[in-house]
Amino acid sequence: MRGLYAIVDPDRCAGRDPVEVASAILRGGCALIQVRAKRMPDRERLALVRAVRARAKEHGVPFVVNDRPDLALLVDADGLHLGQDDLPIAEARRIVGRMMIGRSTHDLAQLRAAMHEGANLVGFGPVFATKSKENPDPVVGLEGLARAVRVARVPIVAIGGITEASAPGVARTGVALGAAIAAIGEARDPEQTARALHLALGGGEG
């Protein structure tokens, strides 16, 4: 699996309907799509997750829910993504079973811990400066990302400040996927931007 790991965040959609943004991204092309809606009330979040899950299924794209194993289970998601402050993977696994679980990491110690816990894929970054997180961790850069790829025994998802211009360099480190949030959600044309990023990161045409 290679290419764009698209993350849809209602706060990073330039005021547009996140379901429509997700639909545009799926038309453009991506390897996986995730919904991240940390500040949304549960009922609204469930409706959003359910709607994007349905569209992802239409396009044959695996769908991932951020933070919430209960919502992932409710919508029959393909995966669950957990941050450093979220549930331990073993506890989440008791809820979601064999579902793919990813973990965000920011240094090699966290990466090794995530693999030891049983993560199926690991996010690593921020690779570049990012505006998608209020208190970002220190930038790891392409060299740090390449080191993570060498250490990893599971697919690595590069995250943090990835743009169409920087994507080829990210892909050359050997990562499986590159994640984008604001770069696509706030783009004038999310469909075209997703297509360009997916191709630049080594994915096929959408």
Known binding residues for Mg(2+) are 67, 86
Catalytic residue (one of 55, 104, 166, 195):
104
Cα 195 to Cα 19, 24, 40: the distances in Å are 17, 10, 28
Query: Of 166, 152, 135, 144, nearest to 38 (Cα)?
Result: 135
Binding residues: 34-38, 66-67, 86, 104, 130-133, 161
Catalytic residue (one of 12, 36, 53, 55):
36
Q: What are the backbone angles phi and psi of residue 107, rounded to the nearest 5°?
A: -155, 175
82 in helix, strand or coil? strand
Please state, in angstroms and rounded to a whole number, the distance separating the CA atoms of residues 134 and 152: 27
Q: State yes or no: is 133 an active-site residue.
A: yes
Please answer whether residues 61 and 32 qualify as being in contact, where contact means their C-beta atoms are separated by less than 8 angstroms.
Answer: yes
Residue with tokens 């995966």: 79
172 in helix, strand or coil? helix
Local structure of residue 180 (DSSP, 8 states): E
Q: State yes or no: is 27 an active-site residue.
A: no
Q: Which helix (H) or strand (E) holds 33?
A: strand 32-35
Q: State yes or no: is 57 an active-site residue.
A: no
Catalytic residue (one of 2, 57, 112, 133):
133
Active site residue ranges: 36, 104, 133
